[in-house]
Structure 1
């Protein structure tokens, strides 16, 4: 990485600092302020913090959680049986055929790695400021959570990242090619950010909807610890979240993805608020629905797979919006027997409400990324794998989720060994979280099933390989690293 790529950070974030959860915040241009005296007020701190949320929103061009083909849910779920595509990045992901020349795959690192540096500089500015200590502490906690969140998501996709040290960022005119962090160093960096954030963020009851909380920081720690198979740490974080006595399962699974506000939903641990103004966008209906879908159609860019659809039990409410049949505006009924070119790979993975009243490509259905159900299933997995075999507690936790899905409880005797339990928990995770945060890919990788599932889905067309568990970096990043930045194995 050559330093011209991060010079702009020193000039400031040349973007309007607005986010869906704070629509009245005025825009700030950092090239018009003096870093030596900024931040000096609570409003300044808020501006810094909201800037950290900006790349985490849903936006087609520069929001990592866009529900379009430019978002990480789209590509990550498309690398599993949950989503399939026959063109574009969705086809690359479906066949595991991605390589370093595919900008649609390398773009997530290229577009967002400098946001980590932005947060580092903001944390330093805030630490050195003279603002009220309580305001400072909360602001730093949100900035560290944003940095840890973004680092985890990119680390999960690409492996260790380049994280520019503060002293390098403070000397942008000096060209300093940087290497990627070592693996353990990367894990420790993310862990420290999230532990610090969990200590100083507001409680879930006090945090504003769409903002970080202690519970969410601990949820991210669970994801990190699952990634590292640190089962005891997963269980400890799950217990800490449960001890907050705040979160609970919402009895209406389908209703969580409706046009109704989820601001008071105690299952939601973090959501990106969406609006029609484009401050933070949800385009999912346009991605999924065919042009002839009743009332209002879309672009039909992605489908699910019949393999995934058939893995559900018949009465599972979680497949309600996995649309296996519809009658189009042309009067034709489309289904598996008559798929045309809209269901030839699988059903329509709508997940959220069709929202026929949407006036543009956008919807007001919020982008839910993490829910309390994940805490419950993560704890069940951790208990079983820590002990080398499931016990009744791990089975009871799974049954909490199954009961909400209108399913019969499972029995310990049927999942007495760790392999059968893990196969079951992977299936439950795919059914519970499809088309939310794209983490099922990481679940498959954790249990050594990523390539196996791809071959089952695609047969001889699959181009999977063990090294495909990580995406490649772009040739531009490798070139500008001048030997310090190493490509992921298998892509050279």
Structure 2
């Protein structure tokens, strides 16, 4: 399969042997880079695509501490058995502005908004075909809008760096946080602008395309409760030219043999020697039986037993969410034995999710890490239709049933639905069962007004109503000298 492989590059200034003034080797000199199409391509791959990867412990989708993992860990759908200061606050809603994991993605990736803004400027005057320039510009707009949305979802409005400030780095300018209106306008403008030069579907797997742009837009509109525009995006993605569809079997979505399958809208591309994701390392207990015995198993992530018990009997998704097995040591794993080992709060079923990488010799898998897929779109569209019209329609029911039937469950009929609220709860439950550990649970619960109550029902006595947003890092507040204000509740 032809993939886009993410290589983070450092484009350095060249040093003159006759100039003894200090030179910077960690910055791009725009006087001679980029100068051609190849340079511009490298700049976009290295500066725009770089955050959107899962490369061991790097990237916003790293299996170690991604937006997906951290978000789900703050809900009823995920826990980590490594009971330490990194993970306990996520489970108990007891985080602070100094907590490493709730602030890490801001600290590590907010700076890429500036990198992308400079990239957009630097490629604007490079001579290349109109088609290629339109593609690179659109990819950069999508990168800015997507990253801004991920940060906005977690932290609320953030400072948006301006080109003028970025071009004068020696000037001490502290950009305040954007207003709500400025932030949402920036995200929407960047994402819609990206549609102008992107292909409907990329021919190079892992590259940005309109399918991804419309998916991010749809999620943004759902976040903003703009149901009409969310519905428009969802209907766009149903069109035949996008070629999306559900795989026949749930487990087949996440295998090496089926990389780039019709259900995947975007995945982080993995390849041995370049990028590897660490899902099985984090999720499998040490005695979990695998054909490849070299796979690392650190007994970390679990889906809590109370949530696991909400699955219906015969749900095919339980083939890769394992509640019972006999270990390689002959010991039976089940709810009782797991609670004895890890306690009630940090135990659960094993989220196997991905197939095995037969070439793994220890850490890491070359199976592409799924970020967005078609089942997510179908269920969001079902929800948007009902919310917009405040009525349950046969179309909305059919969209939800497509996912249920694939899971080998009986489809709902209208008689099963007791009204709009009951249907929306069914959508929320179905999305939890379908998309566990794919990073949607936190935003779903917030949108349904259940995030904080869900935490309190689990015994999180330290949570606050304001904890729908994570705090900005304390270091950012300190450096802001009063111009950057912390989120309420911290």
TM-score in same-fold range (> 0.5):
yes
Shift of 1:416: 4.1
Match of 1:63 in 2: 59
Matches of 2:88 and 2:114 in 1, distance apart?
A: 32
Q: Does the 8 Å contact 1:75/1:89 carry over to 2?
A: no
Match of 1:106 in 2: 103
How many Å separate the matches in 1 of 2:362 and 2:255? Answer: 17
Provide the residue aligned with 1:408 in structure 2. Answer: 410
Distance 1:96 1:376, change over 3 A: same
Q: CA offsets, 1:272-319, max 9 Å, x none? A: 011232x32210111111222223451112211111111111111112
1:395 aligns with 2:397: yes
Match of 1:466 in 2: 465
Describe the superposition over 1:396-452 as per-residue Cα deviations: whole angstroms up to 9, x where unpaired: 11111111111101122322422111111111111111112x122101001101012
Larger displacement relative to structure 2 (337-346 or 421-430): 337-346
Q: Within 2, Cα distance between the matches of 1:201 and 1:290?
A: 42
Superposition deviation, residue 223 in structure 1:
0.4
Once structures 1 and 2 are overlaid, which stretch shifts more, 81-90 or 225-234?
Answer: 81-90
Tell me which residue corresponds to 1:233.
Answer: 229
Q: Partners of 2:264 and 2:6 in 1: how far apart? A: 24
The separation in 1 between residues aligned to 2:263 and 2:208, in whole angstroms, is 14
Q: SS at 1:303's partner residue?
A: strand
The equivalent of 1:365 in structure 2 is 367
1:192-341 matched pairs, under 5 angstroms: 192-204=189-201, 206-245=202-241, 246-263=243-260, 265-277=261-273, 279-294=274-289, 295=293, 296-339=295-338, 340-341=340-341
Tell me which residue corresponds to 2:13.
Answer: 31
Q: Choose which of 139, 161, 175 in structure 1 pairs with 2:136.
A: 139
Residue among 117, 127, 130 paired with 2:127: 130
Q: Is the 8 A contact 1:325 1:334 kept in 2?
A: yes
2:41 to 41, 46, 59: 46
Verify the 8 A CA contact 1:273 1:367 in the aligned structure 2: yes
* Alpha-carbon distance between aligned partners in 2 of 1:463 and 1:26, rounded to the nearest angstrom: 40
408-417 or 386-395, which deviates more: 408-417
Give the drift of 1:355: 4.0
Please provide the CA RMSD for this pair: 1.9
Superposed CA deviations along residues 57-79 of structure 1, whole A, max 9, x for unmatched, are 113443111011x2221111111
- The question of 1:181 aligning with 2:178 is answered yes
Partner secondary structure for residue 409 of structure 2:
coil
SS of corresponding position for 1:421 = helix
| Paired residue secondary structure (1:200) | coil
- 1-structure distance, mates of 2:283, 2:73: 13
List aligned pairs for 1:368-383, cutoff 5 A: 368-383=370-385
- Give the count of matched residue pairs: 465
Pair 380,429 (structure 1): closer, same or farther in 2 beyond 3 Å: same
Which consecutive residues of structure 2, in runs of 5 or more, have no partner in the other structure? 15-27
Task: Give, in whole Å, the separation in 2 of the partners of 1:61 and 1:161.
Answer: 24
| Aligned equivalents of 2:296, 2:125: Cα separation in 1 | 52
Q: Deviations for 1:82-102, whole angstroms, at most 9, x for unmatched residues?
A: 111333433211111111111
Moved more, 122-131 or 419-428: 122-131
Deviation at 1:359, TM superposition (A): 0.9
**Secondary structure of residue in 2 paired with 1:338:** helix
Per the alignment, residue 17 of structure 1 pairs with none
Normalised by the length of structure 2, the TM-score is: 0.91
